[in-house]
Amino acid sequence: MAAARGYHQGRLCRPEAVNPPGFTGARIDRADHLRADPARIAAAIADPAARVLVMAGLEPGIAGGRLQWRAVAAGEELVLLGVDDGVPRFAAVTAEPTQGALRAPELMSLLATLPRAEMALYAGARSLIDWHARHRFCAACGSATAPFKGGWGRQCDACAAQHFPRTDPVVIMLAEHDGRVLLGRGLNWPEGRYSALAGFVEPGESIEEAVAREVWEEAGVRVSGVRYVASQPWPFPSQLMIACIGAAADDALMIDETELADGFWATRGEVEAALAGADNARFIAPPEYAIAHTLLRAWLDHSRSNAWG
């Protein structure tokens, strides 16, 4: 039965069965029950055991393959990340301008060495620090804002408007046709690197509609029967990658060269070779921490078992 493989009516309904992508798997208790109680937040900050994530701007302090922590410093603006084995964990808000979308290859290589739970914890901290740095003034009246709810919101001193961190949904998808999947190479990507197509979900649009629109706009391919596979927080600066697979009506490509440098239909063998890092692979696969890697592996695993309903 299809349901035994994690499907129901053609949709993957057990994403936990998929190899998890990076930036997921945080084990910390986010302690939402503490956020609305200023007295308890103050007590957590004053706790001698409390620790603050070591950061240089948005870059993490990493040593020995682990995140680094320090004691609380007087007067710093903190965000409560949560409680870990009874220890309050915080991130310090920077007063310096941030560039949350930027990420150096060296940073990504370093993050990939972290345990999954710590990689996920850093992802949340980075997104929050970047959001605070960019929301020091009220979008309603322009006055200064101050953190509240343990740093999970900012409130305007003048008009009392409340502002909360946002996450931008992004669809990332494979269009499938005749046992092959559509891959694209982004502008200015390294030669040989290909991945799934992706794009932001627009206002008034469902996930399925966003998948269909983006594939049509970028590659001129019509898709239907969209299936959800898995999701991944992407902290550059604060996105939620929603991985899907859809059935393509045909394989004719009309690449939008303002969006993509190239695109092609990859066979199962070509995907297998790329994921294995074979020297003769047709393309370089996305890194293991990227949900595009998870998506390609899920497609391979389930296409072998003919499970796509």
What are the tens digits of pLDDT across the range 74-128? 999 999 999 999 999 999 998 887 876 777 788 888 898 999 999 999 999 999 9
What span, in angstroms and rounded, lies between the C-alpha atoms of 308 and 303? 6
CA distances from 92 to 83, 124, 150, 168, 191 (A): 15, 13, 12, 23, 38
Residues of 193-227 as b/e, b for ≥16 C-beta within 10 angstroms? bbbbbbbebeeeeeebebbbbbbeebbebebeebb
User: Domain boundaries in the chain?
Assistant: 32-163, 167-304
Average pLDDT taken over every residue of the chain: 91
Query: Is the pLDDT at 1 greater than 90, yes or no?
Result: no
Q: What pLDDT is recorded for position 97? A: 76
Question: 87-92 and 51-53: which strand pairing?
Answer: parallel
**DSSP summary character for residue 71:** P
What is the CA 277 to chain-centroid distance, rounded?
23
Specify whether the CB–CB gap between 141 and 154 falls below 8 A. no
CATH number corresponding to 32-163: 3.90.79.20
pLDDT band for position 6 (50/70/90)? very low
Domain 167-304 annotated CATH 3.90.79.10: yes
Q: What pLDDT is recorded for position 106? A: 86
Query: Is the pLDDT at 5 greater than 80, yes or no?
Result: no
Identical fold between 32-163 and 167-304? yes
**DSSP summary character for residue 137:** B
Query: Is the pLDDT at 24 greater than 70, yes or no?
Result: yes
- Its pTM stands at 0.90
Each residue's pLDDT tens digit, 225-277: 999 999 999 999 999 999 999 999 999 999 999 999 999 999 999 999 999 99
**Cβ of 261: how many Cβ atoms within 10 Å?**
15
